[in-house]
Amino acid sequence: MAPRFRQTLLFLASLLVAACGIVAYVHHAHRQASEERRRPASLQAFDLETFKKTFNAGADKTRVLAMLSPT
C-alpha cells in the first residue's frame, strides 16, 4: 500500500467514525425528547375531605359520580 493511499483511507475512516458519532448523538437526543413528551402527567394525591366538601357544596344541583375501572 502506498503511504498516500493509507493516509487517505485513515482520513476517510475517521470521518466515518465521526459521522456515526454525530448521528448517534442526534438520534439519542431526539429519542429522549420524544419520550419526555409521551410521559403521562402525574396525578395529584387524592384528598377525600376536599372532594367531600366540593361534592356536598353543590347539594342544590344534580351531581353525578362516575367510578371507572381500568379492567
Q: pLDDT digit string (tens) for 12-64?
A: 999 999 999 999 998 888 887 766 666 555 556 677 888 888 888 878 888 88
- Rounded to the nearest angstrom, the gap between the alpha carbon of residue 46 and the centroid of all alpha carbons in its chain is 25
How many CA atoms within 13 Å lie on the side-chain side of 41?
3
Supply the pTM of this predicted model.
0.45
The C-alpha cell that represents 43 in the structure block: 396525578
Quote the longest CA-to-CA distance of the chain.
94
**Sign of the torsion formed by the C-alpha atoms of 12, 18, 21 and 23:** negative
Q: What is the pLDDT of residue 1?
A: 67
Q: State the Cα–Cα distance between residues 36 and 49, nearest whole angstrom.
A: 33
